[in-house]
Amino acid sequence: MRIATWNVNSVRQRLEHLLDWMKETQPDVVCLQEIKCVDEAFPRAEIESLGYNVATHGQKTFNGVAILSKYPIECETRLPGDLADEQSRYIEAVVSHDGGITRVASIYLPNGNGGPEKYAYKLAWMERLRLHAQELLKLEERLVLAGDFNVIPEPRDVKSPGAWLNDALFLPPTRAAFRELLALGFTDALRAVTDSNDAYTFWDYTAGAWRRNEGIRIDHLLLSPQAADRLTNVTIDRHLRALEKPSDHVPIRVDLA
């Protein structure tokens, strides 16, 4: 099973890129973030024409997540822990396939910059995710938490660490909360296969970041033990960042035996 995640930064603006990439790489499940449209505006017909089931949790202009699957899916669209949270940042699906089931979540974790209130929301969201993931692990299923976590885990995951010291993506409490999530028993798929210092998934649009390879790694696939045991390969589709009018993120995908 091939499971991918991609922050497309507006699915309608990147639709041609998305369709071409799906035809090229043939993922079984795709987790999208920042679709930036309400459910009714999602290009469902175009995706379904490629043989995918579609589940979305959209929001006008901002945020929004989706799961696309070649297999039947049953979805939930709310991260437990805060009934007042109206931001569309989480969708979870049980994917039914020949080998049983695999549970997949598409996650768009808050950025956290912009003041103390936004950073507090980020950390609270991460704690809600940790508590929910802890419960999901008790099911002892193949589980993949995939998405834009807005977390730079380590200095090797950023080209210029010094430039990010005061950014919410790299602050010590952010990185500590990410480690607490991993400590539940998850495997960071990319780090299970490479120690590369050049495995970036995001390059800002400004200041020639792509040309100078000033990248960061913030898009992750975290695997439960049952999924990690089946991991065979991880690929970052870096070339998509060089396309005309690209997303500032690129897809990352895992192959599970």
Which residues are identified as catalytic?
Answer: 108, 148
Q: Copy the structure tokens of residue 179.
A: 């480690």
C-alpha 152/C-alpha 161 separation (Å) is 10
Q: Which amino acid is at 180?
A: E
The set of residues, in sequence order, having a beta carbon less than 8 Å from that of 180 and lying 6+ positions away, is: 130
Distance in angstroms between the alpha carbons of the first and the last residue of the chain = 6
CA 156 to chain CA mean position, Å: 19
Q: Copy the structure tokens of residue 169.
A: 């993506």
12: Cα within 13 Å, side-chain hemisphere: 13
Nearest to 145 by CA among 96, 179, 174, 187: 187
Q: Copy the structure tokens of residue 113.
A: 């910059």
Beta bridge partner(s), residue 104: 93, 144
Neighbours of 202 (CB within 10 A): 22
Residue found by looking up tokens 């003041």 in the block: 115
Residue found by looking up tokens 């970052």 in the block: 236
Q: Copy the structure tokens of residue 247.
A: 């997303």
> In Å, how far are 5, 153, 190 from 200, measured between CA atoms?
14, 12, 10
Q: Copy the structure tokens of residue 74.
A: 């049953």
